[in-house]
Amino acid sequence: MFALIIDPQGGASLPVIAGMAGALRGGATQAGIWHDEHGRAAVAAGVTGILPEDVFDRQPLVHDDLIFAAQARIGNRDEILDRLGLAAAQRTMLADSDVLHLAYRRWGEDCVQQLSGDYAFVAWHRDSGRVAAAVDHFGSVRLYYAQFAGKLVLATQLAALLAHPEVPRDLDFDALGFLIAPRIEPGKTSYRHVASLTGGHQLSLEGGVLRTRRWWNPDTQIRTRFRDSRDYVLHAREIFDRAVKACLRTSGGVAATVSGGLDSTLITATAALQLKESGRRLHAYTAVPEPGLPCRPLPGWESDDSSYAQALAQMHDNIDLQLVSPGGLCTLDVVPAFHARSRTPVRNSANHIWLGRIYEAAARGGARVVLIGAKGNATASQTGDGAFGVLFRKLRWGAALQLAANEAEDGGRAVWRAVVREFAGERGRALFQRLRGGEDRAGRHVLTQAFQASHAEALTEPFASGTTRARQIAFATSPAKVWLADPLPQWNMETRDPLADRHLIECLLGYPLDALTVGNRGRGLARAMGAGRVPDIIRFRRTRGEQMSEVEAIIAAHSKAYRQALETVAASAAFRGIVDIDLLKNKVDRVCEARGNRVDAITVDRALDVGLFVSTAAT
């Protein structure tokens, strides 16, 4: 974690960078500080202490020609060290920041093409004054920046960037309104003059001109074809296993979030198998509903995944499973900490109740790393939509019909309906969804008429367009969402997602679409990868798990607090510019009086999160 000030006019002062260093959270030691004697640059860098090699980290890295800082976990560390030609004796005493620095020395800004893992770095060339920075392909490590009055300020944490007294703090009400809608704009933050570097992008500053460009442009040509579908499973699982192993590199304990779905159970099972080889255990945490509150799961969903998680723990005797409920908390109890530490409202704030409880429990258990499977639906466990047409055109009609039959059984519909659904394609499905009222997304309709009118095009959900293959590529290569609480400053934890591994994504992009439906099943690749690792009750599950299905009941149980919060946000003229308070009050009343639905509850939580943030930031 680091912060950097660049000022060609000599205004990068030591007190300011010290203040930014003091705002960095999650470090094992106090951040190191370096200051250019001419005031052209100043940098602070801390060490998280999460990796075993962090004991050798001495950042910032100061050289006669270059100042370098990074927050890094290099997933292919050994491969990079081999290519750099370093002797075995040298390797053991190199922090990952050193490895990244050496890679930058060897390949320049193209070093990102060689790397996998989670990282952000910045390099300041002392002679030319040029700045180069980048984040990993997914944007797992965040990098915020602001350019103003001839200065450039960067930091891996928003609070550290805002600790610079001159950074403009004007709120971006368009972005905040979009968060309620919800529509996430890449690169946007809560602040109009502060941007985040999108995953897979680089930043450069030269001659006062700031540029960003996308560096991750993976090969999307279908280049891997096997006659036997089982070979896809073996191939993908080998790469996935390496990704999990890389995520287990830590100086402390490892924890995992686990539901009853394929993604988290596959990660947890694989991690448990690998940890068992060295006699280690894995702490796993499953979110369950608040006892005593009614749950209203959606059709085809279940509100409690504990039985599936317990089946996984029974299959692997080194998994220590703990069930975690909201513990009597509501969203209003947790958002103040997000606003104070992460300096932003968050996407899906209600889910952060159980996420926060899990991170806190994991920390008490000695973990600094939590494994998640957020990218699974875009990678290994893609449904394989469009595979029916591929099989049909290949004259594999029996396989196509079997795929439709399995889809029909999974969705509780007749086979002919599944066939029609497949032939309708994404445009047809989007139209059917609209005809059922699916366009009424949570949040959008409490925005003021003026806001909706001025952003009509952006707020209108378009029909899905392009080929199924193009949508698959876009889904797989979409970056991480920065509108989530940053776990390092928030809980002193680091999240790692093996299913977001760069090599795994690039491997899967080279597969034909029907490779994702091994066994003529949707999500067939992930189901097959879990054979022998994940219980069949999970692998062939036909329902889905839903966290926080009691969200309406939680709001009703805390109705007094929600009505007080409504009064607070209603007093903010800035918030009234984006949200119609009367419409929001109607939804608050509906949910507090147990007359509301899921959309109402999500809308209330999102709007009040943003409103409380705006009210606090304006004071």
The DSSP call for residue 146 is E
State the pLDDT confidence band at 212, using cuts at 50, 70 and 90: very high
Question: What pLDDT does residue 89 have?
Answer: 82
Q: Say which residue, 174 or 388, is predicted with more confidence.
A: 174
Judged by average pLDDT, the poorest of 37-46, 220-229, 254-263 is: 220-229
Angstrom CA distances, 115 to 104, 247, 314, stand at 10, 15, 37
**pLDDT value for 413:** 58
Alpha-carbon torsion 330, 336, 338, 341, what sign?
negative
pLDDT at 514: 81
Residue 439: per-residue pLDDT: 40
CB environment 11-48: b (16+ within 10 A), e (fewer): bbeeebbebbbebbbbbeeebbbbbbeebbbbbbbbbb
Mean pLDDT of 249-269: 95
Task: Name beta bridge partners: 62.
Answer: 67
Tell which of 214, 230, 246 closes a domain.
214
Are 83 and 33 contained in the same domain?
Answer: yes
What pLDDT score was predicted for residue 472? Answer: 81
Tens of pLDDT, residues 351-408: 899 999 999 999 999 999 999 999 988 888 887 666 656 655 665 656 566 566 666 5
Q: Are residues 379 and 506 in the same domain?
A: yes
Average pLDDT over residues 204-219: 95
Asked if 478 and 605 sit in the same domain, the reply is: no
pLDDT value of residue 90: 86
Name the least confident of 94-98, 402-406, 455-459, 578-582.
402-406
Considering the domain architecture, whether residues 375 and 523 belong to the same structural domain is answered as: yes
- CATH code at 154? 3.60.20.10
- pLDDT reported for residue 333: 95
| Residues forming beta bridges with residue 369, ordered by sequence position | 254, 494
DSSP tag of 341: I
Average pLDDT rounded to a whole number, residues 47-65: 95
Structural domain tally of the chain?
A: 3
- Residue 235 and residue 222: Cα distance in Å, rounded? 15
Answer with the residue of higher pLDDT: 389 or 78.
78
Mean predicted confidence (pLDDT) in 158-165: 96
Contact 331, 605 (CB under 8 A): yes
Place of tokens 């006019």: 9
Q: Measuring CA to CA, which residue among 505, 518, 504 is closest to residue 473?
A: 505
Q: Domain check: are 273 and 315 in the same one?
A: yes
Q: Which of 162-176, 356-370, 395-409, 541-555 shows the lowest per-residue confidence on average (mean pLDDT)?
A: 395-409
Q: Please tell me the distance from the alpha carbon of residue 98 to that of residue 424, in angstroms, as a whole number.
A: 53
* Phi, psi (deg, nearest 5) at residue 68: -135, 140
Instruction: Give dist(CA 595, CA 506) in Å, integer.
Output: 47
Residue 460: DSSP 8-state: S
- Average pLDDT of the residues in 163-172: 96
Closest among 12, 58, 65 to 37, alpha carbons compared: 12
How distant, in Å, are the alpha carbons of 298, 450, 555, 580 from that of 598? 9, 26, 11, 20
* Mean pLDDT of the residues in the chain: 89
Range 418-434 average pLDDT = 52
284 or 423: which leads in pLDDT: 284
Residue 491 domain-assigned?
A: yes
The helix (run of H) or strand (run of E) holding residue 304 is: none
Alpha-carbon distance of 303 to 118, in angstroms, equals 32
pLDDT, one tens digit per residue, over 445-486 is: 899 999 999 988 888 765 445 567 787 888 889 998 788 888
| pLDDT of amino acid 412 | 55
Strand partners, 5: 42, 153
Domain that holds residue 579: 551-617
Given a cut of 90, whether residue 203 has pLDDT beyond it is yes
Tokens, residue 485 = 């609480």
Residue 383 placed within a domain: yes
Q: HEC states along 187-198?
A: CCCCECCCEECC
Domain stops at, among 214, 237, 265: 214
Q: Which residues pair with 32 in a beta bridge?
A: 45
Alpha carbons 483 and 175: distance in angstroms, whole number: 10
Higher pLDDT, 30 or 243: 243
Give a yes or no: residue 70 inside a domain.
yes
Helices of type H across 165-217: 173-180
Here the tokens at position 451 are 């806001």
pLDDT in tens, 107-125: 999 999 999 999 999 999 9
Q: pTM for the full model?
A: 0.92
Read off the pLDDT of each residue in 35-61 and give the average, rounded to a whole number. Answer: 95
- Specify if 608 maps to a domain: yes
181 with 298, same domain?
no
In 3-state terms, what secondary structure has residue 355?
helix
Confidence of residue 314 (pLDDT cuts 50, 70, 90): very high
Asked if 99 and 210 sit in the same domain, the reply is: yes
Same domain, 498 and 585: no
Q: Which residue has the higher pLDDT, 607 or 435?
A: 607
Query: Same domain, yes or no, for 270 and 191?
Result: no
Q: What single letter denotes the amino acid at residue 306? A: S
Which of 546, 538, 529, 553 is closest to 240 using CA atoms?
529
Q: Which tokens belong to 471?
A: 């949508």
**What is the helix (H) or strand (E) element at residue 218, kind and residue range?**
none
Q: Residue 455 falls within a domain, yes or no?
A: no
Q: Are 274 and 318 in contact (CB under 8 A)?
A: no
Which amino acid appears at position 531 of this protein? A
Whether 270 and 298 share a structural domain: yes
Between residues 83 and 394, which one has the greater pLDDT? 83
Do residues 197 and 226 both lie within one domain? no
Domain stop point among 163, 184, 214: 214
- In the structure encoding, which two tokens stand for residue 482, read together? 């920065």
Q: Domain for residue 454, yes or no? A: no
Q: CA 14, 17, 23 angle in degrees (round to 5)?
A: 140
pLDDT of residue 373: 93
* CA dihedral over 438, 444, 448, 449, signed as positive or negative: negative
Sort 536 into a burial class: Cβ within 10 Å, 0-12 / 13-18 / 19+.
Answer: exposed
Q: Which helix (H) or strand (E) holds 321?
A: strand 319-324
- Looking at residue 463, what is its pLDDT? 47
Rounded alpha-carbon distances, angstroms, from residue 327 to 290, 291, 333, 354, 357: 7, 9, 11, 9, 8
| Contact yes or no for 324/287 (Cβ under 8 A) | yes
The yes-or-no verdict on residue 238 having pLDDT over 90 is yes
* Residue 447 located in a structural domain: no
* Least confident span in 55-69, 73-87, 258-272, 373-387: 373-387
**Residue 262: inside a domain:** yes
Residues 257 and 290 in one domain: yes
CB within 8 Å of 129: residues ≥ 6 apart = 6, 8, 40, 206
- The CATH number for 415's domain is 3.40.50.620
